[in-house]
Structure 1
Amino acid sequence: MSPTQQRNPFPFSLPPSFTNTASSALTAVSQHIDTSVILPTALAALASVAGSGLSRDRTTVGPAGELISEGVCWGVWAGVLLLAGGGVGSGKGLGLSWDLGLSGIGGRKRGRAGDGQEGDGDVEVGLLELENGNGNANGGPSSASAGAAGRGTEEGDAAASWSVWAVAVGLVVAALYRAELGDIALFPVLTPLLLLADRRFRPEIQRPSGGLGALAYTAWGTALVAVFGLFALLGRDAVGWALVLIPMVALFIVYAALIPRSVDARQWLTSVPELEEVIVPLAGRVGILVVVGLGAQAFVFGIRSLAFGFSALLLGLLKAGFWYFTVEAARNTSWVVATAIGTFGLVASRDPYVQLSNTQAFLPFFASLLVLAQVIYALPSQTKGRMILWALFLIPFGPYLANIAAIRSAQSSALHSVAHPIEVLARSARSDFKQILDRQSKTYSSAIKEYQRRYGVEPPQGFKEWYEFVVANESPIIDEFDAIHDAVAPFWKLSGDEVQRVMDEAYNTPGIDLWLCSYSSENSETTCKHPWRGSDRHIAEMFSSVLGDLHGLIPDTKFLVNHLDEPRVLFPHGTNTEGKKPLSLMDLSEQPTWDAVTKYCPTKPERGIANPPLEEAGLPLVANLTHSLDLCKHPEYATSHGLFQAPASFKLIEGLVPVLSTGSPSTLSDILIPSPAYLVESEFQYNPASDIPFSHKASNLYWTGSTTGGVSSASHDWHTFHRQRFLTLAQNLDHSQHHTYLHQTQGSTAPTTITTSFLNTHHYHVSPTRIFQCATPLACRQQRAHFRTLPWQPADAAFQSQLAFDLDGNGISGRFYKLLASHSAVLKQTLLREWHDERLKPWVHYVPVSMGMGELPETVSWLVESARGRQFAEEVAREGREWMGKGMRGVDVKAYLWRLVLELARVGEKGRGAIKEVE
């Protein structure tokens, strides 16, 4: 085969007419475009964008797929080069010798593989075209054979082999990082670093520094582009700097090893030959390291972690295309263009539909423009048609423009002048709450009568002193304590001695995990004991601090307190013999609990079949909180909340046992108390110095936190846990999910509904900061790949947003009161009843959110985008904050706990007889 002939690697031929036509077309194009430079650069950029976008979707490619794609990349390239005419020798050194006949190589290679003779060759540097246009510069002696001098020596072979290993390790380390943590956010920094390395290795090369060429060949220009690239890539995906440095250093070694060296250049890393000359040994080394990496993944995460699909193979082909065309483009410039093209792929493939703000959506768009200019002006100035590469700007510009258009369309059609259903619910809620406040007893005698009317018995001893305290401290709630009565009333069926016996029996049950607390009337102190635990999670501290000054006003009392976040007690109401049955303890930790907690529902619908939600104007808004919390009416909750799928701890006590807990679903019978987190834990206390006025806050919904609420495993799908469902919605990760919005049509006085997959993620500052509670490492790894995470955030970061979201964790959320006290409007989702339910009114003090969250996109959109919505949000924030200073103060909590302990003291009083009928 003559040197000008090329072997056809494909087992077919095209018709002469077709090839002639194509040849004529290519000839015409080549007269205006330098295809040896422009085409490889464009194709490398396209492969970089497509590969970066596909790699970023780690739930599709998978961590194992990312590693496998690296092996596919180099394996495919090596195979294609061998098929295209390469040969592999078997002597000393690298043992490679082929003539690829590729356009733009511009050099000669000569030598036999493994014959022990010295070889020589000329390799064009090509960068001097920037100055004199002739492109002829000898890069020094070069040989692909083994011999007694130059690279043919054993020392040179060892150094070259070490360099190939270094490149292979760098490539696989970077792939491992992408597999586990996503984008290498510091990648743009490689361009200025490589420019410095190139100057060191080839100091004699003159580089242009004027005009836009400064973006490619000056330290300040490349640094400027890198800064904007960093801003575009860091954002919500940032992780610790030390960790990001690892793949950046690895890739720097890779690219630096590929930079040609001058003869006299001082080398800290031996240069590898031209990449195609070492592709076979490099592919072999990468393959070995990929197998090692996959083995490590299987060891840590299990064999199931090695699953991958066709997308991994596609990603490998895209990577191969990127490297092949980048090498071709770099022949006529320098390796600086390689990292510039890689940076373009990263920033241009950023999805504007998932960014947190307009600024974060614009930054990748602007950074793409700068990086593209860097790529274009890195090419020789006389390159014909290089300005055509500006067309690549359409890659980031199209999605950015489409996102802006979708946002403006949604804003223009949102409700502005027509009354929103939320406003209707809010007016009704305010009226109801005003009536509750107005009807509270005004005198002690009226309070006695109201108590008798509600509960059919006399108030407990000490009620008068309690009433006087409430009035003296202007507590607005005097009669609304039905939750206490409803929880305590079943124990009237037992005598006081039986209540004491039940508590002792429960406390002494192995593994029950309850605190037995005693309140001393003499010194007003509460002490708690536990069979094996040392810390009571501030239970005794809370009771002692709240009730510590009530000497002699409360009888000596004993009560059980739940140590766990999750609720505990289940018993059927309406039976008279339950207290005489032995209690049972069932440990359902990390197991489904739905069937157990709903076993006493009066009419139990088939599991998973939902009752039609109460809807307002086509939206599942929470119109009735009691109905929304009723598990018996919502079998779909079985697969909507982590508590019912795989709670971290769930030790269910079945029997008539008085246990105090901070939260409980509708079907369980825990006696509700305020959480110590609300009162004594500093992390959850409101700090006015950290807050700002509502008008100064960002117009978005904020939530960051951990993935508590359920334990993820192979048998428990974390996708359906409540916190993970919220994160998936707010981060717009499920593109098959459709959202309902209310639209205002011209000339209509009533809103209409539309359904679309569009979600304006600029309205949501939502990310997990800690992914844990996983039965296996694989479950946490899957979530890290699925969600866009943030590092730890300040405790009061939510105060910077107008809307603050709050939802259940393993139990109740300790943040709730702090958020209510702030200048932000609180959106609250919960399935747990709390002590304050009778004094906090949804749509007045906070915005309730349904478990299905079908109304959330429209709610957030209206509260953020419309003037009436923003006004309503500010009113909710003000009402919640003011009520925290009126009805949720320390004295109000004291009033609740005082009354609760009085009721507990009465039902547990020694010598009290059982009462079978209590209203």
Structure 2
Amino acid sequence: MGPDRGGAHLMALCAVSSFIWLSYSLEKHSLDEKIRLSSFSILFVSSIITFGLSFFSGWLPGATGRFDDDIGPLKVTHVNHPPRPRRYFLPALVACVVARVELFKWVEYDLQCSKPALECLLPLALLSIEFVRHVSPKAEADNEDDMANTVFDDVTAWFLSSKSMLVLSISLPTYGAYLALQPSARSTVFCSAADPKVLVVFSQWISLGLDSAILILAWRILAWTRTTRSRVKTLSYVLHLSAVGVGFIVLLTKLTKTASMASSAALAIKGIDSLYVFDIVVDSFVFSALLISGSLFLCDSTPLNLTCLITCVGGLFAAVHGVLQVGSFTSMSAFKAWFPLLMLCLGFSMFLFHTNQRSIFFIRRSFLVLFLFLLIVGSGIYSFLASKIIREHALHKLIYDRRIGQDRWLRHASISSSLRVAAQEYKERNDGREPPKGFDAWYQFTTDRQSVIIDHFEQTRQDLLPFWGMKPSDLRDSVRALSTEPEMAIVTVKDKAVSHSLPPESPHKQAVEELVGMVKTFVQHLPDMEFAVNLDESPRVLTPWADLQQLINKGKPGKLSLLAQRSLEQVADGVSLRRDAPGPTALDAHHRPHLSPRDFRQMNAITCPPGSEARSGTYWDIRDLCVTCLAPHSREQFLANWDLSTRLCHQPDILKLHDFYLTSPASPPWQDLRPVFSRSKTDAFSDVLIPLPRAGEEKMEEDAGKSLEMKKDSLTWRGKMEQSNPSHSLLRAGHQTRLVHMVNNATSSEKTLILLPSASNGDIWTYERTRTAELNKVLPFDVGFSDCAAGSACDELGGAAPPADPLDSRYVLLTDTARGPPRRTLAALRSTSVPFVASVFREWYSERLAPWLHYVPVDVRLHALHGTLAYFAGLSGRGAVNGRDPRWDAAAADASWIAEQGRRWAGRALRREDAEIYLFRLLLEWGRLVSDQREGMVFRVGDKKEKEKT
């Protein structure tokens, strides 16, 4: 590419940058769940954009006359103009595009069965065609007749015309890009034996052939157009015809589900919102830029040159990113991270010389090759320096740090030594707001019961904060409206007495009566009120971020609240998706339609602030482990911050990896804020947590008679396969089915990253990829479904297991069900077993528990489950791992410490008395919120003194 061809430089730069942008943003867009409709929309909008841009083609090169076939932007030594196209090339090109869309949908549907980075082999697929045309006979003849050539000229001529050098200049960067784009770690989403794995991989190879055909046909068609305007118009026609073909398939597939064309069209556009439309428009503009710039570049070179250029640049970005990850648990080998970059830099340099490109992207070849050389050297040095030696297991440090941190947390949670200090602490922790009326009675109630938690009630503060932005009368009306809802009870406090609304035959009567019994212990200090209790395990209120923040800022104390409210309203008007989002409103409470899992995930996503990962789009690459998603709350491979790990907004992949988000909710949640008191919730929900007893858990007898050493040496989990016909995504990506498959039915190709003692030096730890099935044989797992619905997939998962009490084992794994939090959590904490908790739900006591001190936290991705169990159970004498005995003794002291600390802490901070204290404080706050004299219902220490004098 010569320096005088600035337009060609610009086209190449635009093509490469738009391709990289699309590749990066595609993983975060909301288009993947409607692939056909999204493809139709992008093709159709792009056809309109390209047709419109054809009238401004004068700004592009070649608009005023016939293209010069002899002077291409690559300035290669041969003529690049292809043979004249045939008449059937245009319909063949459209057919290839439509077929490519269909194959992409098929592969994406079973993405966990696909081969990663197979698309990087496209230059090799095109090489066979370019191989025949590469050497110019005229150039060879000229070289033979020129007797004045020097040895350097002969070597240069040989290099430019050698087919072996062509193969090498294409193969090296292609292989480097293939290695660089391999996932650093695979997720635990599995390819079932019932999945067509062979067909999926075969479809990828067919897709590779279709990509080659599309490029060659487009090259043959567009290269014979006379001007840039006609070239861009032809491109718009191809896009339009392709959109028609894809749209026909969309309607055809919907007709199989509905009886009429109108209902098929309505079903096709169901669930489209403003975010989806925005993604379509943006992607269409970028896609148009890619096609136009790529077409202009393609027609003056060859498909091989275009694809190799994109592969080299895209691979370099991926390889540099891989080098920067050296030292993390997914990239411990400096050489493996540096080698793909070496292949890319060498291959890219050879490609530049072999195609005789004097400059590219406005950069001279000599400077670019020098930069690539410096990149090789610099990345090699960085890889060597960034690689680290692990001399201590990460969990040993985590457990030690948690012991130290818990002492600081406990001091912060129990600062108050008197009522005056408690009132001041309340004010400082609640934005300057005074304590509620009756705070003195609550403080006395707390001290009488010797609570270790006096000042830390952050969960209550966060739950009630939005309701300060609502009028008391609206809150009371909302509670009354909830009385007609199913699975809802109304608890009434009136004239120092408490009652509930459940009929005698209700299956939830015992739980509500136990709740009422707790209220009776302090009801004489409560004002009159009503509150609605959700009796279902699933939370019910899912308010969008903009609406919630508007209420929070409106209810802030102080003069700045009005200003904050106005500024937030302006933001909310621009970003709120509430009008477009699916889900029920206050007007259709009794006629709420069935909510699909996709719509439910979307409702969860818009509870995140704009710009967050979960809000900006869906994460569809569930085949690979999302390392960036787990990095904020992890230390190396292991979960370090449990509170952060339950937050959705920085980890959108969780929406595709948990049963709760992969099933339709029994009761579609409300999006307008309602005062619903629930037993548990995820971070996205706005329910108010309440200590509602769960049948069989509060009265569970402690197994103090059995020490940890006396119990069965295993990690035990028992679940229930509730659905007889689980959906495709739920079966392969749900957290319970992933667990059962990973432990009981792992294939020979599945591998797990685990921290092991080094084979050469037992004092050094290294992350190694080990066959999952091999680890399952040596680790003491006892996992399975003890209750399988008829016709369920238990046999396919290898998950049927006899009933067993997990508390009879040393380690008990607690996971969420599809509709609620982990079962028997309190019972496990009160036992002498070590609780392993994998959950995204919170309950009233969650903020009081410390991971690695009271329980062992497990990320719901389950990528570190084997490594975590291996730390506590040990591997010495259990069998060979990677061909050797790791000689890894069990951390029995740490396991005993966690089991004992959890049991003691449950006896100190998770008692019934502690639940009553939590409930007392919560209802004092609620009584103030629903009172018309809200601002006057405050407690001041002076008021206490005046009362004592009286």
TM-score (norm 2): 0.48
Which has a greater percent of helix?
2
Larger Rg: 1
